[in-house]
Amino acid sequence: MTEIKPIRLALKDASVLNPPEDTPLSARFSKLAEAVNLAYRERFSAGGNLGANDAIALVAAVSEFIDVSERLDFEYGTDGALPLEDAGEAADEALRASTELDAWLDRFDLITYRSELHAVILGIGIWSMRHELPLQTTEAIVNALATRSNEAQSKQETAAAYALMQGFIVHLAPQLKADLERSNPERPWRMLNLNFAITAIRSGDAALMRYAFDTLNAHLPDERAGFYEEACTVAMQPGFPLGTRALIEAEHAKWARLH
């Protein structure tokens, strides 16, 4: 299983809002695809390398899915169920290809394109959400959401990452809420709910924190006491917002008494 990346439990001080981009998914991915294809030609121009063909095939798979998704949106609309049985499987395949393509970015020294790849991954996930499609390949989405939260440079961007996490928690609950892999600390359901609570703390918004804490408490009852104990340790650091600390301490006191 792909390693799920946790997010850091810390607030950022930056306050400059970078407006969200309206660039279509196909345009964003084309930049990455062009860079991968160019790197392939530079590295393997003398006869080629069978392994490198994997990268080209992955790019083609994701690009094909994006083209198909845009045609489906044009024909059936951008929201609502699709009259196609394999649409969810196609989205999962694109997510798997995107996950494998991530490793090629390191190999080709293209890590600056990782944000583009994560935007594409989230775009595939959001497309699936809008069309009510179940997803099995959730690790890539959880990692992309964690990165989005980590890289947020303002309260507004943090709140936007929070909103995405909230939407995906609801959408993925039918597949993941049973939480059958409790022996795996990096399972997507666990990391998504923990990262949701951490992102809420970063936002500094009391309402967002209360909702995320309630969600965590309900979905991960075995984790809540340990989470708030760790959060309290961080909250005691100098400069930590007093209102945020008070909310964390209240949750810690509540659940510590029960363990």
pLDDT digits (tens, 9 = 90+) for 21-39: 457 889 889 999 999 999 9
The residue behind tokens 């290809």 is 97
- What digits encode the pLDDT tens for the residues 222-245? 999 999 999 999 999 999 999 999
- What digits encode the pLDDT tens for the residues 135-164? 999 999 999 999 999 999 999 999 999 999
Q: Which of 28-37, 46-55, 192-201 has the highest mean pLDDT?
A: 192-201
CA–CA gap between residue 22 and residue 36 (Å, rounded): 23
CATH of domain 1-8+21-151: 1.20.1440
Residue ranges per structural domain of the chain: 1-8+21-151, 157-259
Residue range 46-59: mean pLDDT, rounded: 69
CA–CA gap between residue 205 and residue 241 (Å, rounded): 11
- pTM for the whole thing? 0.86
The pair of structure tokens assigned to 28 is: 């964003």
pLDDT band at 10 (very low <50, low <70, confident <90, very high): very low
Give the mean pLDDT of the chain.
88
Other Cβ atoms less than 10 A from the Cβ of 188: the count is 24
CB 66 within 8 A of CB 29: yes
Nearest to 145 by CA among 119, 124, 127: 119
| Residue 19: pLDDT over 60 | no
Q: Which of 40-54, 113-127, 141-155, 158-172 has the lowest mean pLDDT?
A: 40-54
- Helix (H) / strand (E) element for 60: namely helix 50-76
**pLDDT score of 5:** 52
High-pLDDT (> 90) share of the chain, %: 76
